[in-house]
Amino acid sequence: SSESLRKSANWFLDFIRIKDDQILLTKGRDAYQYLVFQRYIIYFLALLSFVCIVIVLPVNIHGSNVDSIGTPFSKTTIGNLSLEKSHLFWIHAVLAAIIMPMGVFAMNHFSKVIKSDEEHITRRTLLIRRIPKFKNTKEILVNYFQQSFPDCPITGIQVIYDFNELQALELEYQNVVNAKDYCQRHNSSAPKNMTIKPYCMGQLGCCCCCCCQTVDGYEYYSERQEQINGDIKKELVNSFASPTGSVFITFQTEKQCME
């Protein structure tokens, strides 16, 4: 169980005994993907170490290209094989040709495992709409499902929010920051600071000179940046305070999701 794994101090035994379902339930999907990747790496390196110790190392030691004056370590490398006299170079080439496709196969299999797991999670997730806003919180929804469906445990709830206005503000903020940086670079290289007319078609000269005053570009965009930053904070609070009434709920099994 997960409790016994927490009490164990031997990480190798935990690595052997722990199940993928336990990782998903206790640590989440990101930890599951990382540990599965590490598992594939450990298996591949174990195979590579076995091949190097059992096959490659005796082959290198069998060579005689390094004289007795050389270091002991140099006698265990491929440099101990003579290119003209020894035919053992073929063993290195054959092993490299075998091990590299095995590594590619292992990574391909890992990607399929992760992809199949994503599809499995998708089949266990429901989109529920038209939830009253005063009940559209994770705590209320979790309590409701625990009381109404005690045999269907929930592994995740994601409330949906409307961030369209926030995305528009973010895009405008990026444009203002870029314009501010441009004005700063211009002011540092030009004798006069850049001035702008922050009005519709102001730079095209379509505005009246009396009504449309010219302002310093860097100062204008600095003030505009602070304004948009405040608008983003307000909109972020408003977005989280006003959910759309829809949620994604992930159940433990596909059967529970269908029920």
- Rounded CA-CA distance 112/130 in Å is 36
Residues contacting 175, CB < 8 A, separation 6+: none
pLDDT digit string (tens) for the chain, length 259 residues: 445 545 555 666 776 777 877 777 777 777 888 888 888 888 889 999 998 899 888 888 877 766 655 577 777 888 777 766 667 778 888 888 888 888 888 888 888 777 655 555 566 788 888 888 766 677 888 888 888 888 888 888 888 888 889 999 999 999 999 999 999 998 888 888 888 877 665 555 555 555 567 888 889 999 999 999 999 999 999 888 888 888 888 877 766 766 6
Q: Tell the burial category of 47 from Cβ atoms under 10 Å away from its Cβ (0-12, 13-18, 19+).
A: middle
Q: At CB < 8 A and 24+ separation, what contacts does 98-105 make?
A: 99/47, 99/48, 99/51, 102/44, 102/47, 103/44
SS3 66: coil
- Rounded CA-CA distance 253/1 in Å is 19
Backbone angles phi, psi at 247, to 5 degrees: -140, 155
| Residue 249 parent element (H or E) | strand 247-251
**SS3 per-residue string spanning 148-215:** HCCCCCEEEEEECCCCHHHHHHHHHHHHHHHHHHHHHHHHHHCCCCCEECCCCCHHHCCCCCCCCCCE
pLDDT of residue 235: 92
Q: Report residue 44 CA to chain centroid gap.
A: 23
Cβ neighbour number for residue 83 with a 10 Å cutoff: 8
- Residues 158, 248: contact at Cβ < 8 Å? yes
Q: Whole-model pTM? A: 0.47
Torsion of CA 105, 109, 111, 113, to 10 degrees: -170
SS3 248: strand
pLDDT of residue 233: 93
pLDDT of residue 205: 55
| Residue 113 parent element (H or E) | helix 89-123
Nearest to 77 by CA among 102, 48, 52, 105: 52
pLDDT of residue 175: 92
Instruction: Give me 192's structure tokens.
Output: 């006069």
Cβ neighbour number for residue 259 with a 10 Å cutoff: 10
